Chain A
Amino acid sequence: MANLVAEFEFLLSVLSEPQSQGMLLRMNVVVCVKQIPDPADPGALDPQTNTLKRDGKLILDESDSYGVEMALQLVDTAGGGEVTLVSMAPNGEVSGLRTALAMGAAKAVLVSDEALAGSGALSTSKVLAKAILRAGEADLILTATESSDGYTGVVPEQIAELLQLPSITFAKEITIEGNTLKVQRQTEAGYDEVESPLPAVVSVTAGVVEPRYPSFKGIMAAKSKPVDQVTLADLEIDPSSVGWAGGGQEIVLVAQAESRAGGTIIEDDGEGFQKIVDLLAELKVI
């Protein structure tokens, strides 16, 4: 069994040492973002590989726009520092990254390599963790709680474990006091106040902030912001440990799910509500 954590240990000194006291004067935030096919386009499986087809233009996953916004606000509050994006894609796609750069992120690291195709959550996390270390000093690493297309929801914790950092998932609100991170964490019953030292990994719940629209100036500026495009070799990652080869999984069956029998669809003529009342009575709900 490979000792993943040991493999990362020598790299970890790159992450920010806690600042000695008082308020942070600068705040460097890394945000992990994913570029996904437009969800308005329902997508299809490639019959050869059984993975989601990824042709066509990719956009910034809306789930990630909340983390980008939160990162920009935290840097503003600290009064200095910058937001760096980290992403991976098999084909060098940058259009989604440009959206986040236009919102105000300073730069991006994009891991692009054909061998990444078919990567599962654990492979993705190994790649993102190394890309985060390449991105430079980070006080805080933000992610979404899950992507809108793959939605495994385990990547944030995997990244935290690889980087040997504390983590808080499902954040509604983030504040920084000195070197302490304070998070309102969504729970089944309401929310918990959770504290952690920095640096740390936090996953941000969708909808908790209003992502800004890129301004025209922002869009123009984004075109010239640096995107550090790297390969697996640049990150010293063995291609056979990621993608199809490193997935450790095999699809044994793809089947149509049982579909529901079609029901009665009627145009409302002003009396449509009566049909609902009748059905409620028939079902003995009323």
Chain B
Amino acid sequence: MTVSKIWVLAEATDGKVATTTLEILAKARELADTVEVVTAAGAEIAAEVGAHGATKVFTVGGTDGKLLGAPVAGAMAAAIESGNAPDVILMATSYTGRDVAGRLSVKIDAPVITNVVDLVESDGRLAGVVPIFGGATDVSTKFTTDNVDIFLIRPKSFAAEESGGAAASVEELTVPDLGATGAAVVTSRFVEEKTGPSLDEAAVVVSGGRGLGEKDNYQLVEDLAKLLQAAPGASRAIVDAGWVPYSYQVGQTGKVVKPSLYIAAGISGATQHLVGMKGSKNIIAINKDAEAPIFAVSDLGIVGDVHKVLPKLIEALQARS
């Protein structure tokens, strides 16, 4: 094995472990003799993470209603300083993963390598592979410190797979006094109602961009998505313009999707966007600019006006059903 021990930050919702965590566990057990998880989700995830290769769960208690960055990083740093340090800590590039990694890196004075899509061996240490220039170039970077290596892993970088392990043993970590850093509390939670499949899981994704011209035209994307049982998505440009909520965003910021079919309507294909969707199995693009970078990654590209192509496409699909 490349390294002796890896910790994985395990995220869970209502006792169900996040897919991103399971993806990271699959890679971690390939790289390390021992894989352990740290979680604020409690001992109830012990069976599930055990089945994915973790032998121990370190629980961080008392986090109800708190943002997790400060308490989880505090508990990890205290454990590391008491001599229980892993070689490597892996977390997802998620809201919580980034918060924990940022706090922890300062607490133990260790840098972080972020946006990692693969981990490779380099002279007995791990290097993180990070795509740049819209995924055209991969840069592999490793740490040279004598500290713990912290990597933030992009979603969908690895395939989650059970390894059939027994339930992990459980040990509670102590959260030190956080002072002001632990003072942010969640007072209420709002769930935005969405119908249809989620961007993360949909087999087909239909995304719209600036080429739609105006906010009302996003309805064309919604209509097409509905006909294909697809999830609607968006480029950063129209999220920033306020046409659709941030949760629709596909790209470097936002969601990474790998559906079997991705349809890009009026999206030019900025680096920001390509990073989030070029892993799709099939890509169809409609854009009026023949030079648009999106066509370089498309299996089928239609150089044309989305306002003409989409309504005809929708009509043709309605006629079939």
| Segment with Cβ contacts to B, from A70-78, A91-99, A256-264 | A256-264
Contact with B along A164-205 (1 / 0, CB 8 A): 111111101000000000000111111111111100100001
With A249-B142, A259-B136 already in contact, the answer to whether A272 and B186 are too (CB < 8 A) is no
With A122-B105, A256-B136, A257-B138 already in contact, the answer to whether A275 and B302 are too (CB < 8 A) is yes
| Segment with Cβ contacts to A, from B37-45, B166-174, B311-319 | B311-319
Q: Check if B102 sits within 8 Å of A156, measured CB to CB.
A: yes
Give the distance to chain A from B179, nearest Cβ to Cβ, in Å: 6
Which residues of B lie under 8 Å from residue A14 when comparing CB positions? none
Which residues of B lie under 8 Å from residue A166 when comparing CB positions? 70, 180-184
| Segment with Cβ contacts to A, from B54-62, B93-101, B157-165 | B93-101
With A186-B246, A249-B144, A265-B301 already in contact, the answer to whether A121 and B111 are too (CB < 8 A) is yes
Partner of B138 from the list A1, A42, A154, A254 (CB cut-off 8 Å) is A254
| Segment with Cβ contacts to A, from B2-10, B25-33, B188-196, B214-222 | B188-196
Interface centre among A120, A125, A253 (most CB of B within 10 A): A253
Q: How far is the CA of A48 from the CA of B136 in the complex (A)?
A: 19
Q: Check if A252 sits within 8 Å of B303, measured CB to CB.
A: no
Q: How far is the CA of A193 from the CA of B190 in the complex (A)?
A: 8
Give the distance to chain A from B253, nearest Cβ to Cβ, in Å: 6
Which residues of A lie under 8 Å from residue B142 when comparing CB positions? 249-250, 252
Q: Check if A279 sits within 8 Å of B187, measured CB to CB.
A: no
From B260, which residue of chain A is reached at the shortest CB distance? Answer: A283
Q: How far is the CA of A186 from the CA of B249 in the complex (A)?
A: 12
Contact with A along B101-120 (1 / 0, CB 8 A): 11101111111111100000
Which residues of B lie under 8 Å from residue A285 when comparing CB positions? 203-204, 228, 261
Which residues of B lie under 8 Å from residue A172 when comparing CB positions? 246
Interface of B is mostly: mixed
Q: Check if B101 sits within 8 Å of A154, measured CB to CB.
A: yes
Q: How far is the CA of A154 from the CA of B122 in the complex (A)?
A: 25
B278 interface contact, C-beta 8 A:
yes
Q: How far is the CA of A187 from the CA of B271 in the complex (A)?
A: 24
Contact with B along A1-24 (1 / 0, CB 8 A): 110110000000000000000000
Q: Check if A264 sits within 8 Å of B299, measured CB to CB.
A: yes
A50 interface contact, C-beta 8 A:
yes
Give the distance to chain A from B82, nearest Cβ to Cβ, in Å: 13
Q: Check if A39 sits within 8 Å of B67, measured CB to CB.
A: no
B1 interface contact, C-beta 8 A:
no
Q: How far is the CA of A222 from the CA of B248 in the complex (A)?
A: 37
Q: How far is the CA of A186 from the CA of B99 in the complex (A)?
A: 13
From B253, which residue of chain A is reached at the shortest CB distance? Answer: A146
Give the distance to chain A from B3, nearest Cβ to Cβ, in Å: 16
Q: How far is the CA of A125 from the CA of B114 in the complex (A)?
A: 15
Which residues of A lie under 8 Å from residue B70 when comparing CB positions? 161, 166-167
A270 interface contact, C-beta 8 A:
yes
B297 interface contact, C-beta 8 A:
yes
Q: Check if B184 sits within 8 Å of A168, measured CB to CB.
A: yes
Give the distance to chain B from A85, nearest Cβ to Cβ, in Å: 21
Q: Check if B302 sits within 8 Å of A190, measured CB to CB.
A: no
Which residues of B lie under 8 Å from residue A265 when comparing CB positions? 290, 295, 298, 300-301, 303
From B185, which residue of chain A is reached at the shortest CB distance? Answer: A195
Q: List 18 A-B contacts (CB under 8 A).
A: A4-B107, A121-B102, A121-B105, A121-B112, A125-B102, A153-B152, A154-B105, A157-B69, A157-B101, A167-B70, A169-B98, A194-B184, A197-B180, A207-B242, A249-B144, A253-B122, A257-B131, A276-B263
